Amino acid sequence: MERFWKTLNEDFIEEALYENLDDLKNELLGFLIYYNEHRPHSAINGLTPKLKAKNM
């Protein structure tokens, strides 16, 4: 869980410039989809969380 917050901060928050709250929400949703469905995670042998959950 700590790794998630580090990644969120480094890949999303530090580069953030949003016009309004709706833009922030949309970008955050996109990041969460990427993080859980497309980004490989070393802690689960390079799988995505979605694939790991599916294979359980």
- Condensed to tens digits (0 to 9), the pLDDT of residues 46-55 reads 999 999 999 8
**pLDDT (0 to 100) of residue 15:** 73
Number of domains comprising the chain: 1
Question: What is the per-residue pLDDT for 19?
Answer: 87
Distance CA 40, CA 21 (A): 29
Residue 1 has pLDDT above 80, yes or no: no
- Kindly report, residue by residue over 27-52, the tens digit of the pLDDT: 999 999 999 999 999 999 999 999 99
Per-residue pLDDT reduced to its tens digit, 2-19: 888 988 888 878 777 888
Strand, coil or helix: 47: strand
Query: What amino acid is encoded at 41 in this protein?
Result: H
Domain span holding position 40: 2-54
- Are the beta carbons of 55 and 45 closer than 8 angstroms? no
